[in-house]
Chains A and B, each alone.
Chain A
Amino acid sequence: MITLIKRPTPSKGWSYATPVVAVLATMVAGGLLFAALGKNPVEAIRVIFWDPLFGANAAYFRSQLLVKAAPLILIASGLAVGFRAGIWNIGAEGQYIIGAICGAAVALSVYPAESAWLFPAMVIAGALGGLLWGMIPALLKTLFGTSEILVSLMLVYVAQNLLAYVAFGPLKNPQGYGFPGSRNLQQYPSAHNPELIAGTGAHWGVMAAIVAVIALYILMHRHIAGFRIRVAGEAPRAARFAGVVPARLVVFCLGLSGALAGLAGLFEVSGPSGQITDSFNAGYGFTAIIVAFLGRLHPLGILLAGLLMALTYIGGDMAQLILQLPAAAIQVFQGMLLFFLLGFDVLTNYRIRIGGARA
């Protein structure tokens, strides 16, 4: 008989240990899965976690790690603030799309004019776009009490349809022979978000992700606003006594996470992706939710979790290529990570007692 006993206060030790335990459990369960598919599990785990960092051509893959992790970290940093306050923005994917559309639209509307002001203007447009898309669930929640979870999630689908509309309509490349998709911003110098140092993968989005992590740390751990946010999440009644206005908090959290997601979209569309297409969004907004939780909603944790998540993507591709593992097995492997994380999280708040229930 196994009984769960609630801890009086969440265990600090387990709160740090669960991500590590979850990663290890994922490796074991994933290894079993790969073995069941007839692959050598040790080799598969090595290909996923070791080869991209230290194997052949690692320099290229390390740079790709930054490219892949930057948007995840940027979005997750914003989400973490809201999650701490108990405000659930599930629609970062939509805010990411809108940020990319707004930023790209600014550039494409003045094409082919070259100006040093263009890229900063795109950055502002991208952040504003994401912010405004995040404001929709925020205002509906504060004015009508709707659930921000549902509204922000549903707005992802609206954003996707908008994306298809602009890719086939207003932003379509007029010289693209009628094919969908915008001009490629990589070939538009003023609008391009290039690698800042060749071969490192570091573009402006990577810089922004680092800044976001530091800013998140200062906000949450060194500033009164961060204290209010945490209190609001942990003890909403107490927060109200402490002078926290719930409506303002909702607007702040959704606005901030929306703006950061929008920025991530802008840096992606002007950099690695280069183009608005109907399939431009690659699920970063959803994966960032996993990153935020895997990182314990802590800035440093998010940084590490973002890199780890990126590693499973890049290593997963390697495993497909070298071991011919099916893509679906890699996706299952990534899903296991969240599953085990949530599972082991029980240990943060509960003790396990094996045996009879003695008061």
Chain B
Amino acid sequence: MNRRSFLATTAIAALASAAGLPALAADPLKVGFIYVGPVGDMGWSYQHDLGRRAIEAEYGDKVVTTFMESVPEGPDAERALTQLALEGNTLIFATSFGYMDAVMNVAAKFPNVKFEHATGYKSADNVATYDAKFFQGRAIQGTIGGRMTKTNKIGYIGSFPIPEVIQGINAAYIHAKKVNPDVEMKVVWAYTWFDPAKEADAAAALIAEGVDVLLQHTDSTAPQAKAQEAGNVITFGQASDMSAFAPMPRVSSTIDNWAPYYIKRVGAMLDGSWKSEATWGGIDTGMVEIGEISSAVPEEVKAEALALKDKIAAGEYHPFTGPLNKQDGSAWLAEGVMAEDGELAGMNFFVEGITAELPK
């Protein structure tokens, strides 16, 4: 180091401390992640990790990211989050619903660390929440499925009966029914987000019941493989594109793309404008991406699906627009009324026409 640059750096350091900035202001921003599953090469946690890598690609030396995978929900998550905070991470993404109370506890202990919790509903001054409107993707899948089914039976592998999944089932059914009034929805609850054996069983059971369109709210490709075996069943990729199964059985997919959001939030940290917010992004923000519609789908159906996607993205159409009734026949949305976000976030009923029973 020559004398001149030494002087320059000392001057900057003196200036920085005089201005009350932290002396380490030039240090990179440390960003931590906890994932509920292994990163692997597809699925929920993998998509979050792609977002993490996008941050690194975008900001280079200005950020350092670390992640912890397969962190169980509960006290282990609380410890993992504390570890990340103690290690000097000042922005921490907790990427599973079940981390909610752990995030709140740790956030209370580290008021200067900012937390971002995926899919939760509790927030604080230093806890923001974010989620994606996956039901928009389901509306498109329902349209394709309703047009393409020959048996008029659509199957849905549900993970857990929580609002996000119920939104998905309702959106898929409403849009299948719109293009095919005879369509029927069959639901099997797998009670897991990722378990190839259980998912394969659920897929086999649905296929045996005559389902020829299979939607999954679980992460593995086991249902895709079952559908491929059956030959005449179509499926949709979940969380990741699952393009290995294209063009048949996988005819399209809903991809979780967290990268734009993560880049935006890290940017806000870097320029000091980070605020606690609740974000619920859809196709318009790029958070929900529709994977390529394969050649197995007839051209006119593909065009119809893409038109729907464009209308949703432009905000001209909401997948939950009245008239819609609840399963028990009671009125929900009047003609032309769109569902409010808050109401959808707590959705705990099926819409009229679905015969499956919602576990209570």
Please list the residues of chain A having a beta carbon within 8 angstroms of any beta carbon in chain B. 56-57, 60, 64, 67-68, 161, 164, 168-169, 177-181, 184, 186, 268, 272-275, 277-280, 282, 313-314, 317-318, 320-322, 324, 326-328, 331
Contacts and interface: CB of A to CB of B under 8 A. Distances in A.
A331 B38 CA distance: 12
A321 B66 contact: yes
B83 A318 contact: yes
19 contacts: A57-B86, A67-B75, A161-B191, A177-B163, A178-B162, A180-B160, A181-B98, A274-B101, A278-B160, A282-B74, A282-B76, A313-B76, A317-B68, A321-B32, A322-B87, A324-B67, A326-B39, A327-B68, A328-B38
B231 interface: no
A43 to B, nearest CB: 16
Contacts of B66: 321, 324
A317 B348 contact: no
A317 B79 contact: yes
B56 interface: no
Contacts of B86: 56-57, 60
6 closest A-B pairs by beta carbon, nearest first, are A272-B75, A327-B70, A178-B348, A177-B346, A327-B69, A273-B74
B79 A314 contact: yes
B84 interface: yes
Contacts of A318: 83
B85 to A, nearest CB: 10
A279 B73 contact: yes
Contacts of B78: 272
Nearest to B342: A177
B162 A179 contact: yes
B121 interface: yes
Contacts of A64: 79
B359 interface: yes
Contacts, number: 91
A317 B80 contact: yes
Nearest to A318: B83
Interface of B: 32, 38-39, 66-76, 78-80, 82-84, 86-87, 97-98, 101, 105, 121, 160-163, 191, 345-348, 359-360
A57 B345 CA distance: 39
Given A177-B163, A179-B163, A327-B38, A277 B83 contact: no
Nearest to B121: A177
A328 B68 CA distance: 11
A179 B121 contact: yes
A113 to B, nearest CB: 22
A271 to B, nearest CB: 8
Most buried by A among B66, B76, B87, B360: B76
Contacts of B82: 60
A64 B78 CA distance: 10
Nearest to B193: A279
Contacts of A326: 38-39, 69
Q: Which of B66, B79, B345 has the most CB of A within 10 A?
A: B79
Nearest to B161: A168
A328 B162 CA distance: 29
A154 B52 CA distance: 40
B122 to A, nearest CB: 10
Contacts of A313: 76
A164 B162 CA distance: 12
B40 to A, nearest CB: 10
Given A169-B360, A280-B74, A321-B83, A178 B347 contact: yes
A22 to B, nearest CB: 24
B121 to A, nearest CB: 6
Nearest to A181: B98
A180 B72 contact: no
A168 B158 CA distance: 14
Contacts of B84: 321
Contacts of A274: 101
Given A60-B86, A318-B83, A321-B87, A282 B72 contact: yes
Nearest to A161: B191
Nearest to B119: A179
Given A68-B79, A324-B66, A326-B69, 18 more contacts: A57-B86, A60-B82, A67-B79, A177-B121, A177-B345, A179-B163, A272-B78, A277-B98, A279-B98, A317-B80, A317-B83, A318-B83, A321-B32, A321-B83, A321-B84, A322-B87, A328-B38, A331-B70
